[in-house]
Every structure is written in structure tokens, then in C-alpha cells.
Amino acid sequence: MSSVPSIHRRRLLAGTAALAAVVALSACGAKTDAAGSSDKAAKIDSSGDTVKVGLLNSLSGTMAISEVTVRNSLQLAIAEINAKGGVLGKKIKPISEDGASDWPTFAEKATKLIKEDGVAATFGCWTSASRKAVKPVFEKNKSLLFYPVQYEGLEESPYIFYTGATTNQQIIPALDYLKSQGKKKLYLVGSDYVFPRTANKEIKAYAKANGMTILGEDYAPLGSTEFSTIANKVKASKADAVFNTLNGDSNVAFFKEYKSAGLSAATMPVVSVSIAEEEVKSIGTQYLEGQLTAWNYYQTTPGAANTTFVKAYKAKYGADKPTSDPMEAAYTSVYLWKAMVEKAKSFDPEKVKAASDGITFDAPEGLVTVDGASQHIYKTARIGKVGSDGLIEQVWDSGKPIKPDPFLKGYPWAAGLS
């Protein structure tokens, strides 16, 4: 076996040379600096009496528990719209794809929805990392994404509509609330990824400008359940309050350790920005009662639109299923897209974008308005307290919808952030 027949070696070389020739002969495409090289809009398939939209959420992996609820409310909105005749006379046909809690998979599935299915718009994504992964896909193909989750701001994409809160509609109001309650010393705990790290950067800048002190800053890997060290450090710091940007199942472990360390909402409240009704249920009310959350919507938010939404959701998915902020933002995003399409009288993303400014919708969270310039929406900030029944009761709100300011241009202390 030691000597390879020479004829084989020669053939191999010839084959290799032939391959190299094929590659060399292939034509080359546009250079990066060539103008108009990316001027190719995706083709939208609205033939027949349906128009396709993409639903891109994680149905498997660590994010599935949260993202499936978003998927459910997207489907609820689509079913409602179809029952009333659809959009521009066409029924909406949702195409489901699984992002699998894996960012490159999100990019692959987004490409598939746009190029293979010809969707008119896509709804979904949860984590900032997944949004960052799909952003170039939507921009290259000039197709629209509606992103329904609160995020860290500092972003504007011409092909993304952000229907969740940006920082000045959630985190800054939460800090304002803590300041008004006399909480001057904060401890920051978060998952180790983009949203918590960026949010904490903004929180530190706010604290510096507002005479608050940050006593510590700790990150745990996504999905981590080891929190005894962090809970003890928090306890030793004697902070006035904890600002929690942990995501997913880590919260369960964190709040258990928090309680066993002898800390409570009365002695050291925790403000969480990623814990909604669904998560309260899985963490356990006994660990969370009295703790604070910051969102734009709670299941308990008053108003006829919310009563209808909660009732319809429970009728479709079960009486024990709560509704939450990202679900509401997802539900709202479908209706906003519908209103934009009807105003534009077209599914063409460019025309839909042009028609977006000033579109309003009487959403479960109250009246929301699209800000065409930033493609974010005006939202009311709400601080809530977890009750013994697992629902969240509002303790404070901003009174009126806050204008989105993703780059925090209206805040002098944020000047160095972006």
C-alpha cells in the first residue's frame, strides 16, 4: 500500500489543473465599489388571492419558550385579519421558519423566505444577535422585517420596523423611576451578550450624569444557572436596587439564589427588563412577588383593545396562557404593516416604507404611532410590580407615548455612546 501507482497521481494532478482552469475561467462579478451593484429588490409573490409573509422565530433551542408565544400572537393577528377579508383583498399566507436560537440560522432562513418564498414582509426575531445577523439580509434584498422586542437602541435600518421599545421608552424611564424613589446605588446583573452589555453602558452613562453610583456589574453566560457568587456579591454591595438584564432561564436560578441569600423586594428591589408574564409563570411567583419590571404593556393594561386581545388569545391558545409585551408588540406589528400596505395601496417595500410615517393603531397597549424617520413607534413606558397571582400590576406610567430616540440624541449624557 505504501507506493501509490504513478498513473493515479498523474490523473489526480491533471484533474486538479482542470479544476483550477474552470475556476479561473469563470466570469467575475461586480466589484465592491461598483455603483448600483446591489440594486436588486426581492420579488414579492402576491399572485393569486394570497400574499405570503414570513414568520421567523426560534421554535427550538433555548429561546423557544419565549419566541413561540410571539409566533402564537402573530398567527392570531393574521387569522383575525384574514377573517375580515385580508389585506388589499388578499388573504395572508404565513410561512413558518425556525431560527433554532442560532443566529446564522436566522440569516439562512431569512434569505430563504425572501428569495425562495417571495414574502411581502417578515415578522420575528427576538435576541439582538439574531437581529444583527438578519439585518444585512433584509437590507441587501430590500425586504421588510418587523422586529417585536425591546432592545438596546443605537440602531436604525431602512428595512426594519422596530415595534418593541428602544432604550428611551423602557430603560431610561425605569432609571427615572428608581431615581424618583430615591434609589441611588445600583448593581447591574446581566446575561453575557449584546443587549445587556450595551444597556449597561447606557445605564452607567445615565448614572454618572444623575448622581447615581454603580456598585458592581456582573455577566453570566446565556443559559447559565450558577448564581450563588453573584447573589452574594449583590448582597455584600448593599445596593439600593438591582438592575437585571438577564435573559431566559438564567432568571429562574438568579431569583432563587437571590431569595436564599436573604434578599427581597422590600430590602433590595430588582428591576427586570426581560421578565414578562410568561417568564413570571416559569420562574415562580413566590420568588418574584413585589419585584419590579419595565415594559410598555402588561396583561392588566386597561382598555377595550386589550380586553379583546387577551380574550381572543386565551380563546385560541388556552385560558391559562398569559399575554406579554413582546407578544403584544408582535400582534401590533402585523396590524401596522396592514395599515401601511393599505395606505400605500401596494406590497412594494419601498412604497410601504414611504407610507409608514404617522400610521396609528389602537393597540392593546394604547394608541401607537409610527415614526417614519426612525421606523420605531411611539410607546408609553410602564413600570409594574409582580403580584401574588403572577400577573403584573402597573405602578407608574409615562402618561403619554414617548417619541422613539434610538440614538439617544435628546440626552446630553449619552453623547459618547454611539
Partner 1 sequence: MNLLKGRSARAAAGFAAAAVVLFAVAPLMLSDFRLGLLAKYLCTAMVAVGICLAWGRGGLLTLGQGVFFGLGGYAMAMHLKIADAGPGNLPDFMQLYGTATELPWWWQPFANPLFAIAATVLLPMTVAALLGLFIFRRRVKGAYFAILSQALAAAFAIWLIGQQATTGGTNGLTDIQGFFGYSLDDPVNQRMVYFVIAAVLLLLIALARQLIQSRYGELLVAVRDSEERVRFLGYDPANVKLVAYVVAAGMAGLAGALFVPAVGIISPALIGIVPSIEFVIGAAVGGRASLAGAVLGAVAVAWAKTTLSEEFPAAWTYFQGLLFIVALAFLPGGLASLAVYVRRRGAPKAPEQKAPVVPVGEAA
Residues forming contacts to partner 1 in the complex (CB under 8 A) are 1-2, 4-5, 8, 11-12, 15-16, 18-20, 22-23, 26-34, 37-38, 40, 59-60, 96-98, 100, 102-105, 107-109, 111-112, 115-116, 127-129, 132-133, 135-136, 140, 154, 192-194, 197-198, 201, 219, 221-222, 418
Q: Hey, is 394 helix, strand or coil?
A: strand
Residue with cell 386565551: 314
Nearest to 158 by CA among 142, 174, 134: 142
Q: What minimum distance in Å lies between the beta carbon of 48 and partner 1? A: 21
CB 271 within 8 A of CB 178: yes
Which of 140, 185 has the CB closer to partner 1? 140
The two beta strands, 145-147 and 376-378, are unpaired
Q: What minimum distance in Å lies between the beta carbon of 250 and partner 1? A: 14
CA diameter of the chain: 85
Instruction: Specify the DSSP class assigned to residue 409.
Output: T
Which of 156, 289 has the CB closer to partner 1? 156
Nearest to 352 by CA among 117, 133, 113, 44: 44
What element of type H or E holds 257? helix 250-260
Amino acid at 285: T
CB 51 within 8 A of CB 93: yes
CA distance 73 to 283: 22
Cα end-to-end span (Å), the chain:
63
Phi, psi of 394 (to 5 degrees): -70, 135
Q: What minimum distance in Å lies between the beta carbon of 216 and partner 1? A: 16
Nearest to 258 by CA among 295, 220, 221, 296: 220
Torsion from C-alpha of 404, 149, 400, 272, nearest 10 degrees: -110
Which of 26, 180 has the CB closer to partner 1? 26
Which of 130, 169 has the CB closer to partner 1? 130
Q: What minimum distance in Å lies between the beta carbon of 28 and partner 1? A: 6
How many whole angstroms from its chain centre is CA 234? 28
CA distance 282 to 288: 11
Residue with cell 414570513: 54
Instruction: Specify the DSSP class assigned to residue 363.
Output: E
Which of 133, 341 has the CB closer to partner 1? 133
Residue with cell 448593581: 187
Q: Is the dihedral of CA 106, 111, 117, 120 positive or negative?
A: positive
Which of 28, 319 has the CB closer to partner 1? 28
Q: Hey, is 135 helix, strand or coil?
A: helix
Which of 255, 407 has the CB closer to partner 1? 407
Cell numbers found for residue 73: 400572537
